[in-house]
């Protein structure tokens, strides 16, 4: 078998990578707002990718467990119908139950469903920050001020994600730090009527 090199091998490695990819440095001629939007775009892309990956894994494990449980039920009926093969069918049922246990343990350890939800919330927050930056830039606000405030919101969002992940990995989801949307600068009055 021939070994793939170069771009093909690199693309395969990127498809299998499940964590956050390292970011490229911003263009050298970028101002503060250019640097900020570079980082915002990078994290939006990465959270979109990892959200889809976690969603796919959560779906596969949930559907797989349901299908295997259905197979166990069918094997149970088959034992009653074909008594001559009861020992073999019972053995097969036990093996399938073992596979269900492994998939359940793996899904519980990796917390794909919870990560999918968390990535969705963080992605929504990143998109809101980007929309706010674009709106403020279009309205002619000071680019340095927009960049500083957006970077503060980005840092707070990423810190909250790390904190929530730490809670998810150590305790049940009900005890995790609840997600609190951040108030973007310039939006102070937007949600005041909701209180």
Q: CB-based burial of residue 4 (10 Å sphere; 0-12 exposed, 13-18 middle, 19+ buried)? A: exposed
In this predicted model, what pLDDT tens digit does every residue of 31-73 receive, in sequence order? 999 999 999 999 999 999 999 999 999 999 999 999 999 999 9
Range of the domain at 55: 32-168
Answer yes or no: is 182 within a domain.
Answer: no
Provide the pLDDT for residue 169. Answer: 64
Q: How many domains does the chain have?
A: 1
Share of the chain above pLDDT 70, in %: 76
Answer yes or no: is 140 within a domain.
Answer: yes
Decide: pTM greater than 0.85: no
Answer yes or no: is 7 within a domain.
Answer: no
Residue carrying structure tokens 């440095």: 25
The two tokens of residue 12 are 């395969």
In this predicted model, what pLDDT tens digit does every residue of 139-183 receive, in sequence order? 999 999 999 999 999 999 999 888 887 777 664 444 444 555 555
In this predicted model, what pLDDT tens digit does every residue of 89-147 receive, in sequence order? 999 999 999 999 999 999 888 888 888 999 999 999 999 999 999 999 999 999 999 99
Within 13 Å and on the Cβ side, how many CA atoms surround 173?
12
């Amino acid at each position: 078998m021939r070994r793939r090199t170069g771009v093909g091998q690199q693309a395969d490695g990127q498809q299998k990578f499940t964590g956050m990819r390292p970011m490229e440095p911003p263009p050298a001629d970028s101002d503060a707002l250019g640097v900020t939007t570079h980082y915002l775009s990078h994290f939006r892309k990465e959270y979109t990718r990892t959200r889809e990956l976690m969603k796919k894994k959560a779906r596969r494990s949930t559907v797989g467990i349901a299908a295997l449980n259905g197979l166990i039920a069918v094997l149970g009926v088959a034992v009653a119908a074909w008594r001559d093969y009861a020992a073999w069918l019972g053995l097969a049922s036990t093996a399938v139950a073992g596979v269900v246990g492994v998939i359940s343990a793996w899904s519980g350890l990796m917390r794909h469903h919870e990560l999918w939800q968390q990535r969705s919330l963080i992605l929504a927050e990143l998109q809101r920050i980007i929309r706010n930056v674009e709106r403020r830039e279009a309205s002619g606000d000071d680019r340095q001020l927009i960049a500083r405030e957006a970077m503060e919101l980005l840092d707070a969002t990423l810190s909250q994600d790390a904190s929530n992940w730490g809670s998810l990995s150590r305790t049940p989801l009900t005890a995790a730090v609840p997600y609190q949307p951040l108030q973007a600068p310039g939006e102070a009055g937007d949600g005041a009527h909701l209180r």
